[in-house]
Structure 1
Amino acid sequence: MIKFSLKCGDGHAFDSWFKAGQAFHDLKQRQLVLCPVCGSSDVEKALMAPAVAVRPPVAQAAPPPEAQAPDPTEKLKALRSKIEASSEYVGERFASEARAMYLGDIPDRPIYGEAKPQEAKALIEEGVPVVPLPFIPSRKSN
């Protein structure tokens, strides 16, 4: 996994994790890297300071396993499981379902699904509270 500092065309700065450097370029080319603030797909890598690993002194013992930070991959898996267990998957109907709930046309309920970049941007501009998920729904990953 690699973490990039990103910036959209409107100047919003944010960080995101990618499987590899090429994954960012592939997703960007398909306009799937979106600004979480404005939904813009005009996203570029921002200047970053290099991550320099510092070796701990030899005499220092490793902290006990319970004190070590959890693996980011495990955190994503746990988040995915929680969302899938407590929300309804609506697939490509996500934008229309979210909008209908926001307008009060249908009862509120937790949902997740897919939206095209322009649909997500329209939802954000309308004030519909949506958040991009850091994973592809399992119904799309098989």
Structure 2
Amino acid sequence: MKVLNLQCANQHGFEGWFGSEDDYTSQLARGLVSCPLCGDVHIQKKLSAPRLNLRASRQDAEAPVASEVAMSNHGEGPDLAAMQARIMRALREVVANTEDVGERFASEARAMHHGEIEHRQIRGKASPQEALELMEEGIEVIALPSIPGVKETLQ
């Protein structure tokens, strides 16, 4: 298995897992590799260090493994890779725990607010004007970015 550091034309960094270099090249040529944030298919491979499994002692082998990895930004502001990962996890949680009502969002939210239908967690589409009107009516809404990769498992 080959793990590559990739980046789209919009400078979003992400990992790609491939069976081999040829597998990566083939998928890239067929437009199958895309950015999980913006869907861009103009992907380039970034430099990365190989992972070496060197154990100096038994104590090192028993040490807990970090569950999150982020790129260093050399002390220049927030670590963007770590923030990107947190945002993606949060958005995936929202998608997993809400019902997509699509264009019916405003009417469904109003109906729940007025007790006409059972309350449940929903997400959907609303214009900025509709969202403002909902908030003015005392209905809590939050704007979410539209990220294509959020609804799919990344590989």
Category of TM-score, reference length = shorter chain? 0.3 to 0.5
Q: TM-score, normalised by structure 1?
A: 0.47
Q: TM-score, normalised by structure 2?
A: 0.43
